[in-house]
Amino acid sequence: MNFYIRIICLSIASLIATPALSQGVSDWSDKTVCRLVESDGGALYIEEATSRGLDCKASIKASEAKPTKSKSDRSFGINTYGGEGYILENESPNFDSLRWSLYRKLHYRPLRGDRFYSVQASNPSNFEFDLRDDMYIKQQLKTTPLLSYLLFEDGKIVIDEITPKDRFGDMFTGSSVYHSMSMGKSITSYLTGHAICEGKIKSVDSRLDWPMLKDTLYHNQKLINLLNMASGDKAYSQNDESTLSIQSRMATEFKGSKKSNHQYYYTNLNTNLVLSYLLFTYGDDDFKRLFDDVFQKKAGIRNEVFLTKTSGAKKHEKSLGHQFFATRYDYLRIAKAMLDDWQNDTCVGKYLKTIHDRRIKKGASWAASHDLTSRVGLPNSYGGFFHTGYKGMENRPVMGMDGNGGQTMLIDFERGRIVATLAVFDNMKFPKKASFDFKKIAYEKIKNGKPSAKTITTKSTESVIDPQELILYNKARRESDKKAKAYWDDYYDMIFWGASADGSTLFSEDFESASQRDIRVNDRNNKWYIKQDNDGNSIYCNKVTAGWTEFKFGNEHWSDYSISYRMKFSAGKGGMTETHIRKTHGSDYRVNFSSFGGVEIRLTKNGRPRASGYVSTKTGEWLDIQLTASGDDIKYFVDGEVIASVVDDKVKKGSGFFGVSANSEVCMDDIVVNKI
């Protein structure tokens, strides 16, 4: 459909939907209704309060109102789950929310962190095809968050299915570069095998001699401990989604840390450490050469494969995140290269056999906390950043790459078979909710598959595409990606922004009735909790930790808006808070507010203070806070008074964020975001 026609349709839909949104007042708590009466004085809120018999004092300054119109950050049925497209695997998102998540993953996740290196194709390998239909897999693609399914056996692709156009196919295509999540852990292991075979590392039993690790639990540990997620870091690895660099974390939260027992405990940090250690061992240029050798020359990618640095790492810091980005066929090419190495018993193949032999049990505590019919519940062993020891196949060399949301590759090294899936989302905790049937379409295909009738051999070095043609193809693909991003940016701008009138509420959270619904802020690190205040009111407080605690809300399409909330520094635990407005990856306006009353407004993390102020504060007492961004004007209010303001035009759009400094406790309530 023509873009402008779609925009007109969306505008009409927004007009039709407005009365229905207003009717949502009946779902709000008494506290929220009274707060809106007091702050806004609008007839809708007064009428609702009167019907409930509430004694709320109406606002006199209705022109300065900050009303709530929608009870959450949902527009047209979309829940943004904090704004980044990341959905926890115990959620049950609807179809519109899944599409939003896919949009973010395709067009914004690759922008997190500076790109370390992008491997370009030069001599891509071709697949042979002998396709057959599988009606159950077709049905899965039509009804679940599954995006792509590939089955490789007997040296050929025999099932090749992709999401239909009327599902996700208008966004996701065969040339879409998609994130790997924890599949990247297994790819990191594959690179490690090459490093051992090149003599950069002696063996899986080599000890980590990286000076940066001194006085931490990782110093002088055997490499195999990290590869098996058994480094003994459980007590220190709770902040698993940290965006800080490896260097920063080792110098602060891991300084003086002591390892515990070498038992399986799954964390992102082990992989990021190994990958960054490889970078330290090789140096930038030689490590990039290794990437070319593995992905370009051996796997024979057709598009590109790239990796980003840890998003919070500084330019000079050698800190890598383990998420690789590639297309659906290129992921299969990487898996096939592993299969080739194993079956041809190359040096890297011997490495893969070694990590399979050195696998460890995940343990009883892990089994007790997982559904044993799920993707990561079926394998009960782990080795070298691969899941293995699958139920019913414990002694077969079947190794799985598995990533959040349903990115998987299951390789049967003995029988020469690979199943590869990509998905928007997969509910790992409750497999029957918002999930595809991994057990039937992947696990059982491997478990019941007969031995391959064809011996796998390494790919031919014969060129199959003219190099100039390949350059033009990838140039066109990248240009198409840019146009697609612009299209979907405009599309969601209209839904989230164009359909909202000035003064309307984009987001609200009062932390009441949490047992009946999801909290609408994004606390990915589980560092915040709801508790009852002295008057029985539900409030949101951070756990006191040695590092910052934070949460996000909203989305990066917000432009002119206000963030209002109540907050108090707990008695005896004063510190610093940060409120960010128009937050994107790498840019935002942020206000530092100390328990001593000092206020500073900065542009981005390392920017110099642009404005400052002071207000009298007391710990244990509630403050009304508001941060506004209207055009070029950024203002910070405490109890209705402007404490600091800045005129600046560098950041136009972005979401909201709130953080609390180390060893501090802050409680919040009644967050409301309104369009200005």
**pLDDT tens-digit map of 231-249:** 999 998 877 778 889 999 9
Give the three-state DSSP class for 36: helix
Rounded CA separation 669/538 (Å):
8
Number of H helices, E strands in the chain: 16, 26
Q: What's residue 60's pLDDT?
A: 36
Tokens 């396709």, residue? 131
Q: How confident is the model at residue 463 (pLDDT cuts 50, 70, 90)?
A: very low
Of 45-54, 431-440, 534-543, which has the strongest mean pLDDT?
534-543
In the chain, % of residues over pLDDT 90: 63
Question: What residue ranges define each of the domains in the chain, with the CATH number in brackets?
Answer: 109-447 (3.40.710.10), 500-676 (2.60.120.560)
Higher model confidence: residue 492 or residue 387?
Answer: 387
- Specify whether the backbone of 405 is left (phi greater than 0), alpha (psi in -120 to 50) or beta: left
- For the CA atoms of 232, 402, 104, 669, the dihedral, rounded to the nearest 10 degrees, stands at -40
pLDDT at 324 over 60: yes
Q: Is the pLDDT of residue 530 over 70?
A: yes
More confidently predicted of 87 and 635: 635
Q: Quick one: average pLDDT of 105-126?
A: 89
Do 387 and 71 contact (CB within 8 A), yes or no?
Answer: no
What tokens were used for 199? 């003599």
Residue 555 CB neighbours (<10 A): 28
Copy the structure tokens of residue 606: 């390392």
Confidence band of 7 (pLDDT split at 50, 70, 90): very low
In a 13 Å sphere around the CA of 204, the CA atoms on its Cβ side amount to 23
Whole-angstrom distance, CA of residue 46 vs CA of residue 34:
8
Cα–Cα nearest to 399, from 366, 443, 433, 435: 443
Task: Report the alpha-carbon distance of residue 227 to residue 204 in Å, rounded.
Answer: 8
What local confidence, expressed as pLDDT, does residue 510 receive?
Answer: 92
What residue type is assigned to position 414 of the chain? Answer: E
Q: What is the pLDDT of residues 256-298, one digit of tens each?
A: 999 999 999 999 999 999 999 999 999 999 999 999 999 999 9
What DSSP string describes 505-550? EEEEE---SGGGS--SSB-TT--EEEEE-TTS-EEEEEPP-SS-EE
* Long-range contacts of the stretch 612-618 (C-beta < 8 A, 24+): 612/644, 613/643, 613/644, 614/643, 615/639, 615/641, 615/643, 617/569
Residue 200 has what pLDDT? 97
Using one digit for the tens of pLDDT, what is the confidence trace for 338-367?
A: 999 999 999 999 999 999 999 999 998 888
Specify the long-range contacts of residues 597-606, CB closer than 8 Å, at least 24 apart. Answer: 599/636, 599/638, 599/643, 599/644, 600/644, 601/634, 601/636, 601/644, 601/645, 601/646, 603/646, 603/648, 603/650, 603/651
Q: Distance between CA 507 and CA 511 in Å, rounded?
A: 13
* 200-204-207 Cα angle (round to 5): 75
Instruction: Write down the mean pLDDT value for the chain.
Output: 86
Average pLDDT rounded to a whole number, residues 630-646: 95
Q: Please tell me the chain's helix, strand, coil percentages from 3-state DSSP, rounded to the nearest 5.
A: 30, 25, 45
Q: Which pLDDT band, with edges at 50, 70 and 90, does 46 fall under?
A: low
